[in-house]
Amino acid sequence: MNPTVAQPSSLLSATGLCKSFGGIHAVQNAEIHVEQGSIVGLIGPNGAGKTTLFNLLCNFLTPDQGTVVFDGTPIQSLPCHKIALQGMVRTFQVARVLSRLSVLDNMLLAAPHQQGEQLR
C-alpha cells in the first residue's frame, strides 16, 4: 500500500499499523489517510490484507502496533461499538442479518444519524 501524505484535515488517519497471525504478516506498517468528503477505494489481490486492515481500523482486531485517529481522536484503544457511536461505521465482507429478529428490527439496527437513506 502506498502511503499518502497526512493532511491536517484528514478525517481518518492510520499509521504504522501491523498485524500478524503467527508467521503470517497480514498487515505490515500500513498507513492510510482519508480526507473529509472523499470517497476512497482499497484494492489488492486475495489475501493482501484488506479485510485485516478494515478490522484494525475499527478495532475489531487489536493491532500489534500502530495508531488510528478518527476526527481528531485516537480510537485504537476504543471498543468497536464506541467507535461506531463516534460515527465510523463499517460493513462486513459477507453481510448477515440476525435471523431471530424481524426484517423491521434488523433495519432498526442500522447506525442512526446517517446522511444517506433513512428509515421513516
Ligand X SMILES: Nc1ncnc2c1ncn2[C@@H]1O[C@H](COP(=O)(O)OP(=O)(O)OP(=O)(O)O)[C@@H](O)[C@H]1O
Q: Where in 54-113 is the site for Mg ion (CB under 5 A)?
A: 93
> In this structure, are residues 47 and 25 in contact, taking their beta carbons and an 8 Å threshold?
no
User: Residues 13-52 vs ligand X: string with x where CB under 6 A?
Assistant: --------x--x-x-----------------x-xxxxxxx
Query: Taking the complex as a whole, how short is the minimal distance between the CB of residue 7 and ligand X, in angstroms?
Result: 26
| CA pair distance 81, 107, nearest whole angstrom | 17
**Cα separation, 40 vs 117, whole angstroms:** 20
How remote is the C-alpha of 95 from its chain's centroid? 15
Whichever of 50 and 84 has its CB closer to Mg ion, that residue is 50
Does residue 51 belong to the site contacting Mg ion (CB under 5 A)?
A: yes
